[in-house]
Every structure is written in structure tokens, then in C-alpha cells.
Amino acid sequence: MEKIISDPYYAGYVVGSKQVKVVNPNGLHKPLITKEQHEKILEILRGRKNCHGAPRKNGNPHFPLSRIMLCEECHKAEIALGNTGRHDHSKFCGYTNNNGNGKYYDKYECRKCHKRISREYAHKAVREHIASFDLTEDGRKRIIRQLEIVWKDEEHNRKTTIIQLKQRMTNLNKQKEGQVEALCRCSDDEIKHELEGAIKRTRETLKKTEDELNELENSNDAEKQGFMEFALDFVDNLAKRFFDLSLDDMRKCELLMLPSGFMVGADEKVRTPETSPFYRGRTTKKDLPNTEKSLMAEGGRFELPLQVSPD
């Protein structure tokens, strides 16, 4: 009985459930109830209101692909309409779904056509796809050059900070001397107490500033070597670490490797239409023709593993 009264078909929905679930809210049949009445029925069955509403556009670390996975067909339509950037409604956005049976399912949903894809399989597919690419020799050299530039900038900032800290210590010492001199001349007990507290705070600030200065001055070439090794190891093992990044850093990595992002096609496959020249597709095949190798470097396609929808 519960399954019948909660069926979205009676509210005008048409649901196609395959590997990727597609929901059409505007079926051709005549609905028996309104969508609002359907939602009210679901609320009663669940014993609580449906609080998730529309999927969040971005900013949720549990669904990092919300910013970089697009619905291919909807994206083409959005481009034709001139909708780009934040006006592009073809992005997949993550949300947690409760079907009224006490279980929760994490999904990505296209904001335009409401096509759905499981979070677990989407993340697995993206991770495996990133692992299928290697840095080109030229890409590695260019990244090393960029790391050198980053280190030089950091070194310049370090030297500038050292000068600022030394100047700050000079000012703090003068401030402390003035406070001590004022304390020696003061005869009011209340003011003396305040001056003693001010001197204590100044000494604490001096100690903290001195520690910062010592740490910066003790930096050496070994730290640069460690920085370079860490950065290159991170790039080489990006597939394992991609989902450990912050949302902003993940977006930067995606722009570096796959400028067009990840797209879910009408054929229910996920693909990357463009690959950075820094990377090439990895292959275990022997003696591939150069033309085939070049095609592998231009883009990639991978399928999500067959999954059964819990809906």
C-alpha cells in the first residue's frame, strides 16, 4: 500500500531506472494529485519533512564532483542558450536521498534533467580514470619549472617576513623599555598592576615573534628538496589523493588535467572530452600506432561499473 500511494507516477512524474536514473517531472499522462500533495504524502510516510530540497550547487565536501561533473546533453543545450559558468544548470550536484524505508543514498543529480548517478560509483570511476593518465616528459619538466618559481616566490616572501619580524622585535623591545620605565616612576598601585600586565603581554609577544624568526632563519636547501619531492610525489599519485584535496584545490587539479571536466553522456557513460597536454593516457598495449597513442592523449572515456539502483 505504501509503495502505491508514494508512487511519483500519480503526481505526473515518469521515472526511468537504469544505470543512471532519469526523472521526467512532466509526464504526458494526466496526474491524479499535485506535486505538492505527493511531497506531503512522502513527508507523512517518512515521519519528517524532506529537508534536503534541491541539491547544493557546491561547497559540500561530501560531494566534491558537484563543481566539475556535467550532464553532456544538458551542457550542450546550455551552451546553445549562452548559459555558461554559474548560469550553467547542467552541473551534477550531490544530495542525500531517503526513499522512506529508513535508508539513505548519496547521489549526484543533474540540476536540469534530474538524471541521477550514485556517489560511490562516480567517485570510483573518476579515481580510476585519473589513474589512467601519466605525466608527459615535457609536462614533468614544466611542472618542475613552476615549482622552482613557487619556491623562489616563497623564498622572497620568507626574506621579506624576516625583515618585518626583526623590525617588529625592535619596536616591541622599545615598547617594553618604555613600559618598564613607566613602572619604575609610577606610585599608584592600580596603575602599577596594569603596567605589569602590559609588560607580561609584551614579553609573550616578543617570545612568539622570536620563535617565528628563528624558524624562518633556520630554513635550508633540504626543505626545498623536501618540497620538490613531496609535490612531484603528489602529482604522480593524484588518483589516490584527488578526493583528499579541498574543493578549491580539487578544482585546480581538474583544470590542470582535464580542462573540460567530467561529463555524463546520454549513453550512460562518463567521459573526459579534453586532456591537458601535461598528461598522456596510460596503456599496457604494446606497439600501438602513433595515431592511436595521440588519440589516447586527447581524451578518454570510461564506463561506470554496472550498478543496481536502490530506489
The pLDDT of residue 205: 94
Three-state secondary structure along 73-130?
HHHHHHHHCCCCHHHCCCEEEEEEEECCCCCEEEEEEECCCCCEEEHHHHHHHHHHHH
The pLDDT of residue 177: 93
The pLDDT of residue 296: 33
pTM over 0.85: no
Q: Which three cell numbers stand for residue 276?
A: 591537458
The pLDDT of residue 182: 92
Q: How many CB atoms lie within 10 A of CB 102?
A: 8
The pLDDT of residue 162: 92
Residues 129, 133: Cα–Cα separation, whole Å: 7
Residues 248, 272: Cα–Cα separation, whole Å: 20
Break the chain down into helix, strand, coil percent, rounded to 5. Answer: 55, 15, 30
Residue 228 CA: distances (Å) to CA of 221, 251, 253: 11, 22, 17
- Residue ranges, the chain, pLDDT below 70: 1-6, 9, 13-28, 35, 38, 43-59, 99-100, 221, 256, 268, 281-311
**Greatest C-alpha distance within the chain:** 93
